[in-house]
Amino acid sequence: MTEWNFADVYEAVAAKVPDRPCQVQGDRVITWGQFDARADALAADMLAAGLTHQSKVAAYLYNCPEYLETYIAAFKGGFAPVNTNYRYGHDEIVYLFDNADAEAVVF
């Protein structure tokens, strides 16, 4: 079994082109270096909060740079991201969070 992690791809790109744009949202531009540093910091915060390997992390966010940063941070920390959608209705969100066993929610 391979030890490859999806976050490895983002880290490799960030190492090669840290000053190039990674994400653009309107006037907001986040470089690869900034993206990687932010994902590292979030992963470290989740580890410091007590999350462990395969802890489930839900990203309950709008479509924004932080959504992808949360997913990559989860991969970096060895956590399992839980897919959510800000457009889910009340009953869908209640069902999701009742059944997902998420130990953390980023919102």
Question: In order of start, what are the domains of the chain with their CATH numbers?
Answer: 6-106 (3.40.50.980)
pLDDT tens digits, one per residue of 57-93: 999 999 999 999 999 999 999 999 999 999 999 999 9
pLDDT digits (tens, 9 = 90+) for 3-44: 889 999 999 999 999 999 999 999 999 999 999 999 999 999
Degrees to nearest 5, angle at CA 100 with 97 and 103 = 85
The answer to whether 40 and 13 have CB atoms below 8 angstroms apart is no
